[in-house]
Amino acid sequence: MLEDTARKVLRVEAQAIQDLIGRIDRTFSQAVGLLHGCKGRVVITGMGKSGLIGKKIAATLASTGTPAFFLHPAEGVHGDLGMVSKGDVVVVISNSGETEELIKILPAFKRLGVAILCLTGNTRSTLAMNSDTVIDVGVKEEAGPLGLVPTASTTATLAMGDALSVALLEKRGFKDEDFAYSHPGGSLGKKLLLKVSDVWHHGPALPRVTEKTPLKDVIVEMTSKKMGMTTVVSPRGTLSGVVTDGDLRRLLERERAPMRLKAADVMTRNPKVIGPNALAAKAVQVMEQYSITSLVVVGAQRKVIGVVHLHDLLKSGVV
């Protein structure tokens, strides 16, 4: 049945990746060190399906802080080798290790004196023997019925490329902020670049009352600012608490004459806060954790400087 075929393919490919785990040793660390020490760019090259995997590895490296590009070996021998310079590191990908187009450009790499990392299923091949570091990505079998179509071998190579990329970014100390600069577009860029100060309500738009503000005026402030809450500040401008729609509902349930009260009598003390330079995505995380819809933005000495609301985060595309 077709379902059985699909299950077999997945089992074979999963096993190919599982087998790689036992091969992670000092050679892997040497490979990461080779890439980390690259003074130029990482050049990925491979033919056919290996080339397609190489393009993905190059893209992953480039997006995680390592300048990298893909070089088609057949185009390389017709002029594109000019893209490779001293100080680069070349990663050659070939399951057999005997790919003709790659072997043809080996002498050029040797003349340039670039370091070569080989990902291959044949550690005794021509490519392996002429490389500085070799990582074995060989598989026991391909997933197809004929055992000829690259399936498990390309999956294993892709997974090893990911392992190298992640280990390398960790060695570089790559942070969320660094990743964001390579991904400024779309929702990912917004999550990693947008700060609280980009979406907050501040200045005249900031709902604010003092501890002694009568409840009637508290309600007016909340209504006019349309945020369902207001901050309550001390005479020094520091945060004393917040009054929310929920606080008002609970007050009406227990008080017969609520209008005689002041903000300090109604407010929730020690509300959750956030800084203006925090990522907007962090604000979303805090709101989800505590089931709230707004956060007070504070500066030095807990001075109230703004409020960020869930609706603003929704509009910005962070959520």
Average pLDDT along the chain: 90
Instruction: Report which of 167, 184, 197 is spatially closest to residue 282, judged by C-alpha positions.
Output: 197
16 shares its domain with 149 = yes
241-289 tens-digit pLDDT: 999 999 899 988 888 888 889 999 999 999 999 999 998 888 989 999 9
Q: In terms of domains, do 244 and 120 share one?
A: no
- Show the domain range for 261: 196-316
225 and 77 together in one domain: no
Residue 301 CA to chain centroid, in angstroms?
A: 33
Alpha helix positions (H), 77-115: 100-112
Per-residue pLDDT, 176: 60
Section 234-247 average pLDDT: 93
Task: Give the number of domains in the chain.
Answer: 2
- Higher per-residue confidence, 277 vs 182: 277
**113 located within any domain:** yes
| Nearest to 296, CA basis, from 274, 266, 268 | 274
Instruction: Find out whether 224 and 253 touch, Cβ atoms under 8 Å.
Output: no
> What pLDDT, on the 0 to 100 scale, is given for residue 93?
97
Q: Which residues contact 104 (CB under 8 A, 6 or more apart)?
A: 73, 77
Give the tokens for residue 135: 């990582």
| pLDDT number for residue 206 | 94
- Domain final residue pick, 121, 144, 174: 174
Note whether 115 and 90 are within 8 A (CB).
yes
Q: Residue 20 pLDDT more than 70?
A: yes
Residues 112 and 253 in one domain: no
pLDDT at 175: 64
* Range scoring the smallest mean pLDDT among 39-48, 76-85, 95-104: 76-85
Q: Are residues 264 and 147 in the same domain?
A: no
The Cα–Cα gap between 158 and 164 comes to 10
Instruction: Assign 3-class secondary structure to the chain.
Output: CHHHHHHHHHHHHHHHHHHHHCCCCHHHHHHHHHHHCCCCCEEEEECHHHHHHHHHHHHHHHHCCCCEEEECHHHHCCCHHHHCCCCCEEEEEECCCCCHHHHHHHHHHHHHCCEEEEEECCCCCHHHHCCCEEEECCCCCCCCCCCCCCCHHHHHHHHHHHHHHHHHHHHHCCCHHHHHHHCCCHHHHHHHHCEHHHCCECHHHCCEEECCCEHHHHHHHHHHHCCCEEEEECCCCEEEEEEEHHHHHHHHHHCCCHHHCEHHHHCEECCCEECCCCEHHHHHHHHHHHCCCEEEEECHHHEEEEEEEHHHHHHHCCC
* Residue 185 domain flag: no
Residues 74, 26, single domain; the answer is yes
Q: What is the pLDDT of residues 69-85, one digit of tens each?
A: 999 998 887 778 888 99
Residues 136, 200, single domain; the answer is no
Task: Classify residue 15: in a domain, yes or no.
Answer: yes
Q: What is the CATH number of the domain that holds 50?
A: 3.40.50.10490
Same domain, 129 and 278: no
Range of lowest pLDDT (177-181, 212-216, 250-254, 262-266): 177-181
* Spatial distance between the Cα atoms of 126 and 120, rounded to a whole number of angstroms: 11
Does 54 share its domain with 85?
yes
Instruction: Write the Ramachandran bin of 122: left for phi over 0, alpha for psi from -120 to 50, otherwise beta.
Output: beta
Tell me if 183 is assigned to some domain: no
Pairing relationship of beta strands 68-71 and 89-94 according to DSSP bridges = unpaired
Q: Is residue 161 part of a domain?
A: yes
The answer as to whether 191 is a domain residue is: no
pLDDT-wise least confident of 16-30, 95-109, 161-175, 225-239: 161-175
Residues 8 and 83 in one domain: yes
Q: What percent of the chain has pLDDT over 70?
A: 92
Confidence of residue 319 (pLDDT cuts 50, 70, 90): low
In this structure, which amino acid lies at residue 164? L
Residues 132 and 39 in one domain: yes
Nearest C-alpha neighbor of 33 from the set 66, 64, 81: 66
Pick the last residue of a domain from 139, 174, 209.
Answer: 174
Residue 187 within a domain: no
Q: What is the CATH number of the domain that holds 218?
A: 3.10.580.10
Closest Cα partner for 239 from 308, 309, 306? 306
Q: Are residues 153 and 292 in the same domain?
A: no
Q: How far apart are the C-alpha atoms of 19 and 139, rounded to whole Å?
A: 8
CA–CA separation, 210 and 262 (whole Å):
9
- Residue at 182 is within a domain: no
